[in-house]
């Protein structure tokens, strides 16, 4: 079945799900306008906008979600809330020495999208400042962008594959290839040191700070063990590498995205398309992570658009829809009494298990917007 035929056969579900997103989020956009939510407490969005909590790496996803809904509906309620969230994020610039590797998650999908949609010069400056901060973390001897701060020198993290999209944008925006080169060298390191031969991934890798290809240690990070495969890490890799291919057209990134996607799809199919928290966790207790499914679905849709064969297009697009349908049926809360939508997110193995997390809602909405055929890529 061709890409267009698969979309057409699922059109009713896509439109119905988008309608439910709009119905719920048009209310929540007003209710949580002056917050930077992470999760919900007794059904109410919490708020990470105060003091140093504003540095929370997830703080861009609420504004990013509002921009996704604005792109899909044109409703001002979403645009207003997105702009308010961007103002709240300005407080993070008061703590420059505490900025981290996730500034792309914070500003690229908020300020970066605002600038691309409206031409807002202040938003452009915010995103460029964040891109400069991210590029300053580049280790010129090791050819990687270091994660976190303090004593974690030499650490790299699979999540950063999503943040480097901010650097591709910066190079194109100011006509300077340096940002793109940093991003590609980090992607090449990730391909070598984080992605295993079978398509599974390492979450955290510790490098020698002065030798480009020397790995000192692999850490379990948020997964079950250092030899397991944290599903959200795999989803960051899947989506991150297809995005790097889109931005660079380097064939090696497309092939890496396919390798990770094949592993992710095979593992998720085993559990009726509901992703486990870690693909190599013990059978009991059975932990899931809905956020991994939502992120992977976005990557699979973009992958389906960029592979050549109809067979591969069908495989990846069908997998994305299967994951989204399974999660919508089993894990979405459409009640007016709950601010979040996608439930069953998990922060890490044994901690923050089965809870709503804002980036779950963000990527779920982004995936449905993609299926609607909207030609907009936030990353």
213 confidence band (pLDDT: 50, 70, 90)? confident
Q: Are 278 and 347 in contact (CB under 8 A)?
A: no
Domain for residue 378, yes or no? Answer: no
Q: How far is CA 308 from each of CA 231, 240, 243, 256, 319, rounded to the nearest angstrom?
A: 26, 19, 16, 15, 17
Query: What is residue 210's predicted lDDT score, i.e. its pLDDT?
Result: 84
1 confidence band (pLDDT: 50, 70, 90)? confident
- pLDDT one-digit tens code per residue, 228-249: 999 999 999 999 999 999 999 9
How many CB atoms sit inside 10 A of residue 247's CB?
22
- pLDDT one-digit tens code per residue, 59-101: 999 999 999 999 999 999 999 999 999 999 999 999 999 999 9
Per-residue pLDDT, averaged over 324-342, amounts to 98
Helix H or strand E encompassing 234: helix 231-248
Per-residue pLDDT, averaged over 198-217, amounts to 92
Query: What is residue 211's predicted lDDT score, i.e. its pLDDT?
Result: 78
- pLDDT one-digit tens code per residue, 343-361: 999 999 999 999 999 999 9
Domain for residue 376, yes or no? Answer: no
Query: What is residue 377's predicted lDDT score, i.e. its pLDDT?
Result: 98
Domain for residue 377, yes or no? Answer: no
- DSSP 8-state class, residue 345: B
Domain for residue 263, yes or no? Answer: yes
Q: Are 166 and 174 in contact (CB under 8 A)?
A: no
Domain for residue 379, yes or no? Answer: no
Q: Is the pTM of this model over 0.95?
A: yes
Average of per-residue pLDDT values in the chain:
97
Per-residue pLDDT, averaged over 330-343, amounts to 98
Per-residue pLDDT, averaged over 261-287, amounts to 98
Domain for residue 11, yes or no? Answer: yes
Domain for residue 128, yes or no? Answer: yes
212 confidence band (pLDDT: 50, 70, 90)? low
Query: What is residue 70's predicted lDDT score, i.e. its pLDDT?
Result: 98
Query: What is residue 256's predicted lDDT score, i.e. its pLDDT?
Result: 99
The token pair at 202 is: 């390492």
- Per the structure, how many domains does the chain have? 1
Q: Tell me how long the chain is.
A: 379
Domain for residue 287, yes or no? Answer: yes
CATH number at residue 10: 1.50.10.10
- DSSP 8-state class, residue 108: I
Query: 289: Cβ–Cβ under 8 A, 6 or more apart, which residues?
Result: 231, 232, 275, 276, 277, 344, 345, 346
Q: Is 226 exposed, middle or buried (0-12, 13-18, 19+ CB in 10 A)?
A: middle
Per-residue pLDDT, averaged over 350-373, amounts to 98
Domain encompassing residue 253? 3-371
Whether the per-residue pLDDT at 45 is higher than 80: the answer is yes
- pLDDT one-digit tens code per residue, 139-176: 999 999 999 999 999 999 999 999 999 999 999 999 99
Q: Tell me how far the alpha carbon of residue 262 is from its chain's centroid.
A: 19
């Amino acid at each position: 079945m061709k890409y267009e035929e698969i979309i057409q056969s699922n059109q009713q579900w896509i439109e119905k799900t988008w309608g439910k997103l709009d119905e719920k989020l048009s209310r929540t956009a007003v209710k949580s306008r002056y917050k930077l939510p992470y999760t919900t407490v007794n059904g109410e969005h919490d708020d990470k906008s105060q003091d140093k909590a504003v540095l929370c790496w997830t703080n861009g996803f609420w504004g990013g979600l509002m921009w996704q809904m604005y792109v899909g509906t044109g409703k001002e309620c979403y645009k207003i809330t997105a702009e308010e969230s961007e103002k709240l994020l300005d407080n993070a610039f008061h703590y420059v020495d505490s900025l981290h590797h996730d500034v792309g998650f914070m500003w690229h999908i908020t300020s970066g999208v605002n600038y691309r949609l409206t031409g807002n010069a202040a938003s452009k400056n915010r995103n460029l400042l964040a891109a400069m901060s991210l590029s300053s973390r580049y280790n010129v001897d090791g050819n990687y962008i270091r994660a976190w701060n303090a004593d974690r020198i030499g650490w790299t993290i699979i999540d950063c594959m999503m943040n480097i999209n901010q650097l591709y944008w910066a190079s194109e925006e100011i006509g300077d290839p340096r940002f793109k080169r940093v991003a590609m060298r980090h992607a090449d390191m990730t391909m070598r040191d984080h992605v295993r031969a079978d398509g599974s991934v390492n979450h955290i890798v510790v490098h020698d700070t002065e030798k480009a290809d020397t790995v000192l240690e692999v850490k379990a990070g948020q997964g079950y063990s250092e030899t397991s495969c944290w599903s959200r890490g795999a989803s960051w890799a899947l989506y991150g590498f297809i995005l790097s291919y889109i931005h660079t057209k380097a064939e090696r990134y497309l092939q890496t995205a396919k390798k990770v996607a094949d592993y992710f799809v095979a593992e998720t199919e085993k559990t009726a398309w509901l992703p486990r928290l870690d693909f190599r966790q013990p059978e009991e207790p059975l932990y899931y992570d809905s956020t991994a499914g939502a992120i992977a679905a976005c990557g699979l849709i973009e992958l389906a658009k960029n592979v050549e064969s109809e067979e591969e297009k069908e495989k990846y697009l069908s997998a994305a829809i299967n994951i989204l349908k399974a999660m919508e049926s089993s894990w979405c809360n459409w009640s007016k009494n709950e601010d979040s939508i996608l439930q069953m997110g998990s922060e890490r193995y044994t901690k923050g298990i089965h809870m709503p997390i804002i980036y779950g809602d963000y990527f779920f909405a982004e995936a449905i917007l993609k299926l609607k055929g909207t030609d907009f890529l936030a990353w």
